[in-house]
Structure 1
Amino acid sequence: MTRPRLLDLFCCEGGAAVGYHRAGFDVVGVDIEHQTRYPYEFHQGDAMTWPLDGFDAVHASPPCQDHSALSTLHAKHGTAWMLHATIERLTAWGGPWVVENVEGADMPGSLTLCGSEFGLTARTQDGKVRLLKRHRRFVSNVLLMGAGGCHCSASRGRIVGVYGDGGGGAMTRGYKGDLAESREVMGMPWASRHGVSQAIPPAYTQFIGEQVLAHLAVPA
């Protein structure tokens, strides 16, 4: 049986891709940077103009830096416009699409997912089993159901964050995973430090991908 094809725009190292593949899609990734760690078919190119023809669904993760909570502390990247431009482009395309970004992004009607609601954990250097705190927002033209709600506030003192390109351990913002801990809690053993810090855990997109597949299975 032929699997439906999903185009993964702004794909980075493939965290989202692995989730969609597990859900049942064949995945093709596109990124402006060459991604040697991407686990499926990859093309280096401009995600804003890459052809959408021939795909059954599209996922896009436009740059998030200008939407993050820390963006006020650093110079802007000038990429904020890509979020709404991507949504407009995919809406005009008309097929099933999902767009992801960080918690601070302007995405009305979006669904927020967190690693704590998927039971994503890692045993950290201090001997604790910690839950992943990683809030990401998803908006789609497919009705998306939630996964049960975030448990971060109830798990205070035993959560781990994945961010930045170095360090690890107890930080001013809480416990930060080192590379090994970050790979474990994100479910991305192939990823680099930078790649895992930018990624969506595969558990998120497997959950969403299963809903998109169910939508595709409904007769028009």
Structure 2
Amino acid sequence: MIAGQLEVADALKPRLLDLCCGAGGAARGYQDVGFHVTGIDHVAQPNYCGDEFVQADALTYLVEHGAEYDAIHASFPCEGFANVTLWRGNQADHVDLVTPGRPLLAATGRPWVIENVPEAPVRPDYLLCGSMLGLAVKRHRAFETSWSGVRLTAPCWHHRGLRPFDHSSERDYADAMGCTWMTNKEARKAIPPAYTRLIGGHLRAALYATEVTR
């Protein structure tokens, strides 16, 4: 493909807004299933793997620009809900963007996904673990969706070869997740792209259904 053809092909891709994007674990999976992904984060993300990046407050950007995109993914901060926070801090010290973010997502009229830890106040339409998707990692994440999806994957298989989250071996863990472009620190908050490759297929179906009913 020549450059002009690539530009046309890229313009035809559905545009996904990736809120609280970090270095782009979610973004890579959505790109793999054909989305053009724009990441939003309140801090600079020099290693972000998506197609575009904007440094901005996630909820402010969502209100001002969310409806301009075809679909939205939100990886709102999980520290206020994660059990691991109790081991080294106070959950109440961390911001909750899930509660104010959900109605703002709905107000855009676009299909959306909220990803967070299973302890968060999200409906687990999809509850995924790396062991369900052929990865040698134990990392559970819940996904609430605007279309109330249904998980049709194998259950977890926590065999001895799985890698639990371990700060002492973060590089190996990041690589096992498929997040090979990230630094050790960035990988701590990432999700494997395999998760959003699965979710992204269902999201594209929901996007098509939304377009048909307009």
Q: TM-score, normalised by structure 1?
A: 0.83
Aligned partner (choices 131, 135, 147) of residue 116 of structure 1: 131
Aligned partner (choices 151, 164, 168) of residue 146 of structure 1: 151
What residue is the counterpart of 1:214 in the other structure? 205
Check 1:163–1:199 CA distance in 2 against 1; reply closer, same or farther (3 A cut): farther
Amino acid at match of 2:54: H
Identity %: 35
What residue is the counterpart of 2:161 in the other structure? 158
Check 1:81–1:118 CA distance in 2 against 1; reply closer, same or farther (3 A cut): same
Q: TM-score, normalised by structure 2?
A: 0.85
What residue is the counterpart of 2:83 in the other structure? 69
Q: Give how far 1:77 is off.
A: 5.9
Alpha-carbon RMSD across the aligned residues, in angstroms, is 1.6
Asked if 1:12 corresponds to 2:26, the answer is no
Q: Give how far 1:72 is off.
A: 2.3
What residue is the counterpart of 2:47 in the other structure? 37
Check 1:80–1:150 CA distance in 2 against 1; reply closer, same or farther (3 A cut): farther
What residue is the counterpart of 1:196 in the other structure? 187
Check 1:113–1:68 CA distance in 2 against 1; reply closer, same or farther (3 A cut): same
Between Structure 1 and Structure 2, how many residues are aligned?
A: 196
Amino acid at match of 2:163: V
1: CA distance between counterparts of 2:154 and 2:81? 22
More strand by share: 1
What residue is the counterpart of 1:125 in the other structure? none
Q: Deviations over 1:64-94 (max 9, x none)?
A: 0111112223133644421111112101222
What residue is the counterpart of 2:5 in the other structure? none
Check 1:62–1:163 CA distance in 2 against 1; reply closer, same or farther (3 A cut): farther
1: CA distance between counterparts of 2:183 and 2:124? 32
Amino acid at match of 2:194: A
2: CA distance between counterparts of 1:149 and 1:85? 33
What residue is the counterpart of 1:55 in the other structure? 69
Q: Deviations over 1:150-187 (max 9, x none)?
A: 3234x1x22102354xx12xxxxxxxxx30x2232111
What residue is the counterpart of 1:187 in the other structure? 178
CA contact (8 A) 2:38 2:52 kept: yes
CA contact (8 A) 2:113 2:143 kept: yes
Check 1:192–1:47 CA distance in 2 against 1; reply closer, same or farther (3 A cut): same
User: SS in structure 2 opposite 1:69?
Assistant: coil
Structure 1 segments unaligned to the other structure (5+ residues):
121-130, 169-177
2: CA distance between counterparts of 1:158 and 1:185? 11
Amino acid at match of 1:62: F
Check 1:149–1:78 CA distance in 2 against 1; reply closer, same or farther (3 A cut): farther
1: CA distance between counterparts of 2:155 and 2:163? 14
Check 1:196–1:109 CA distance in 2 against 1; reply closer, same or farther (3 A cut): closer
1: CA distance between counterparts of 2:157 and 2:95? 28
